[in-house]
Structure 1
Amino acid sequence: MFVDKAKIFVKGGRGGNGCVSFRREKYVPAGGPDGGDGGRGGSVILEVDEGLRTLMDFRYQKKYVAESGENGKGKKMYGKDAKDLILRVPPGTIVRDEESNLIMADLTNHGDRAVVAKGGRGGKGNTHFTTSTRQAPNFAESGTSSEERNIILELKLLADVGLVGFPNVGKSTILSIVTKAKPKIANYHFTTITPNLGVVEVDKKSFVLADIPGLIEGAHEGVGLGLEFLRHVERTKMLIHVVDVSGMEGRDPIDDFHKINEELRQYTELLGKKVQVVVANKIDVLASDEEYKEFEEEMNKLGYKVFPVSAATNKGLTEVMRYVSNELDNIEIEPLYDESEDFKYYTNEDEKKDDIKIRKENDYFILEGKLVEKIFYSTNFEDMDSLRYFQNFLVKKGIVDELKKLGIEDGDTVKIFDFEFEFYG
């Protein structure tokens, strides 16, 4: 089964907590702190595997969570870093952040990697919190939380040349003849419901040819299966535009040619500018040569090279493939997206750096956010030094000033998760 789009949830592992520990050795009656740091949480990483061709693995499993880092231990022993979770994807995978719809990565070559959910950092042990006035800190830092998000994976086939045209014009037949591919072929529209790939070998050179399912009017707007199919044309260097020059289905071949090109242009200007060679198929069932000559003259006026072909009798296909093979050597690979326009990549800078939220609800002043969570779980509320460290954090981060702006007064209640305390400024 060919699967070219998948939505999954990814989450990195939480960082391990720092350790609160003191030396307890013989002949050392007042040992100092020796709590080790927590280990780093694992990240979720996508890696290209050239042996894969679909996103089928992600159809059934939708959630991927990396391991958390190990907590620190006594004797300054660091917690073990967690292993990264590596997910294999096929070449040509585009990764989008669902919330922003911006692209996180464009994974093309074997071994390419992208971190899609970074693991949390390990917390510091109590050895880091000693000062000249605080010789025995009874608190440590908790590990930070990890990144998590929904991502959308889109597969864009990596083919050198794409076969485009209306349904039932002979694209699949051509592919089956010039390559060893075996696409399903029948006499009805949208015969090909998934793109097929094959390798063409000619004059000791080779290139990858993709049979893109037949397009129809309105494809760029999603009519039929248009948007799903047009995605696969984007990466090709060159297009072979197959036209049924016989008009057997009651359509005009010149009109067909213009309609398909209009769909390509409407989808993206970059796609509309791709190099094309025109294949006039079913030449063997034409009533007269005049019909072909009329079509050829029109294509020549527009600057296109035309080849008369009969896929049914294998006439003219070798000449087409030889021409295409030679032309590919002269075509530079264009970027998939024109970043000078409205296209943007998603970066970690898009994450909010300061996620502290302060709000008043009834008689409570509520603090929320990942930074608040981290300091909260790092605080030993039964230890005066730890409480003082917590208070300094609230001041340095401007939380106390924000609370005062909201009208807090001495004795009012501040709430962090299920913990409540009275405010005295």
Structure 2
Amino acid sequence: MNFVDEVEIFLKAGDGGDGMSSFRREKFVEFGGPDGGNGGNGGDIIFKADHSINTLMFYRNHKNIHAVNGKNGAKARRTGESARPLYLKVPLGTQIINAENTVVADLLSKDDAFLACQGGHGGAGNACLKNSINKAPKESINGAPGEEGYFFLKLKVLADVGLLGLPNAGKSSFLASFSKAKPKIADYPFTTLTPNLGVVEIGDDGFVVADIPGLIKGAHQGLGLGIQFLKHLERCKMFVHIVDSSKHNLVAQYLEVRNELSVYNPDLLKRPEIVIFNKTDLVTNEEIQDKIHHFEEKTNIQVYQNSKIYKKNSILHIIKDILDSLKSDDTQEIYDPIS
């Protein structure tokens, strides 16, 4: 599986360069005095959100990262060169959690940045330590060590709409039918092993849809593809619940997924949701109408139909209208099981 959405890494900022202890030695210049330069600052380590990166794969093989140290001071009051900051690019939606399990940064937008470890300050040369009492100091000060620590990176997919459903309900086909996303599609469970994103364009506007791998009973305990993908739903503003209408016990299918959301985070149940019966072309019209009537009667939820031959424009506009109504409220609290 190439998708990496959680990784722990160790970071060490650069140490400051040492100050220099030296004295001016020049012909015909008596008592040249101290001329040792200061050390340069060590390099900072800064996380930066980059929209061109989709996973944390790089950090699976680079779990110990060190910034460059500052250069030492030199004679003739020359200051050592300070190291450049080390920028670590991460996908949009990356949370940075410190060793105390505190979320210290949530990089949601392009170019969002967070200073994780500050480089050490350069040490003082003996020229800098000269004063009215000690005019010829022999000592110098070494550079300060750079900050270091372990950090846990967690990626949560950023999308407006999350597709819910049991494995093989047809979520990937639904996503591929109205966006340029190319998810793997096949007639067996767990075809989708990583979240897929698709952009839906409606006129000059649009929204992003995430196809989350199918949930099964016990997903919140790690069964199936487990809790690792449940957290991606926390970023979504609303859900589209896909139900395979060719199966039996459709109410049970629906409630099974809803129960997993409830156990993981009850607040997810408060977000807007529409239910779509998929694969309606595989059953007779009379049968699908009976299933819709039964489902709506038991759940009091309106059902929309979808199949390979069904026009999706109306469904997409319904989703867009719901998202528009949510734009005035961007203060949804994001649940995090770690914090």
- TM-score, normalized by length of structure 1? 0.74
The residue type paired with residue 9 of structure 1 is: F
Equivalence for 1:361: none
| Contact 1:48–1:89 (CA under 8 A) maintained in structure 2 | yes
Paired residues for 1:348-367 under 5 Å: none
Deviations along 1:179-227, whole A, 9 cap, x unmatched? 1222111222211111111111234431111111100111112222121
Residue 149 of structure 1: how far off its partner (Å):
1.9
Equivalence for 1:277: 274
SS in 2 for 1:104: strand
Deviations along 1:246-267, whole A, 9 cap, x unmatched? 3x2x4x2112222212211222
Residue ranges of structure 1 left out of the alignment (5+ in a row): 345-425
SS in 2 for 1:292: helix
The residue type paired with residue 323 of structure 2 is: L
Equivalence for 1:318: 313
Residue 316 of structure 1: how far off its partner (Å):
4.6
Equivalence for 2:159: 159
Paired residues for 1:279-298 under 5 Å: 279-284=276-281, 285=283, 287=287, 289-298=289-298
> What CA distance in whole angstroms lies between the structure 2 residues aligned with 1:288 and 1:151?
51
Using a 3 Å threshold, how does the CA distance of structure 1 residues 9 and 314 change in structure 2: closer, same or farther? farther
Equivalence for 2:186: 186
Equivalence for 2:174: 174
> What CA distance in whole angstroms lies between the structure 2 residues aligned with 1:2 and 1:176?
19
Equivalence for 1:255: 252
Equivalence for 1:65: 66
- Give percent identity, aligned residues only: 43
Deviations along 1:157-181, whole A, 9 cap, x unmatched? 1111110111111111101111122
Residue 70 of structure 1: how far off its partner (Å):
0.8
> What CA distance in whole angstroms lies between the structure 1 residues aligned with 2:43 and 2:267?
39
| Contact 1:105–1:114 (CA under 8 A) maintained in structure 2 | yes
The residue type paired with residue 167 of structure 1 is: P
> What CA distance in whole angstroms lies between the structure 2 residues aligned with 1:324 and 1:32?
77
Paired residues for 1:9-408 under 5 Å: 9-97=10-98, 99-246=99-246, 248=247, 250=248, 252-284=249-281, 285=283, 287=287, 289-299=289-299, 301=300, 304-310=301-307, 313-331=308-326, 332-335=329-332, 337=334
| Contact 1:235–1:336 (CA under 8 A) maintained in structure 2 | no
Using a 3 Å threshold, how does the CA distance of structure 1 residues 79 and 226 change in structure 2: closer, same or farther? same
Using a 3 Å threshold, how does the CA distance of structure 1 residues 335 and 66 change in structure 2: closer, same or farther? farther
SS in 2 for 1:167: coil
Equivalence for 1:6: 7
> What CA distance in whole angstroms lies between the structure 2 residues aligned with 1:316 and 1:334?
34
Using a 3 Å threshold, how does the CA distance of structure 1 residues 317 and 123 change in structure 2: closer, same or farther? same
The residue type paired with residue 320 of structure 2 is: S
> What CA distance in whole angstroms lies between the structure 2 residues aligned with 1:306 and 1:140?
77
How many residues are paired up?
333
SS in 2 for 1:87: strand
SS in 1 for 2:235: coil
- TM-score, normalized by length of structure 2? 0.91
> What CA distance in whole angstroms lies between the structure 2 residues aligned with 1:130 and 1:288?
90
| Contact 1:234–1:336 (CA under 8 A) maintained in structure 2 | no
Residue 335 of structure 1: how far off its partner (Å):
4.2
| Contact 1:197–1:211 (CA under 8 A) maintained in structure 2 | yes
> What CA distance in whole angstroms lies between the structure 1 residues aligned with 2:309 and 2:119?
57
| Contact 1:205–1:325 (CA under 8 A) maintained in structure 2 | no
Mean Cα displacement is larger for which, 287-296 or 273-282? 287-296
Residue ranges of structure 2 left out of the alignment (5+ in a row): none
| Contact 2:164–2:214 (CA under 8 A) maintained in structure 1 | yes
> What CA distance in whole angstroms lies between the structure 2 residues aligned with 1:141 and 1:31?
21
> What CA distance in whole angstroms lies between the structure 2 residues aligned with 1:147 and 1:279?
52
CA RMSD, aligned part only? 2.0
Deviations along 1:71-91, whole A, 9 cap, x unmatched? 112222211110111121111
> What CA distance in whole angstroms lies between the structure 1 residues aligned with 2:112 and 2:100?
23
SS in 1 for 2:116: strand
SS in 2 for 1:256: helix
Residue 276 of structure 1: how far off its partner (Å):
0.8
The residue type paired with residue 162 of structure 2 is: G
Using a 3 Å threshold, how does the CA distance of structure 1 residues 116 and 314 change in structure 2: closer, same or farther? farther
Residue 133 of structure 1: how far off its partner (Å):
3.6
> What CA distance in whole angstroms lies between the structure 1 residues aligned with 2:316 and 2:228?
27
The residue type paired with residue 77 of structure 1 is: R
User: Which fold has the larger relative contact order, with Cα–Cα distance below 8 Å and residues 6 or more apart in sequence?
Assistant: 2
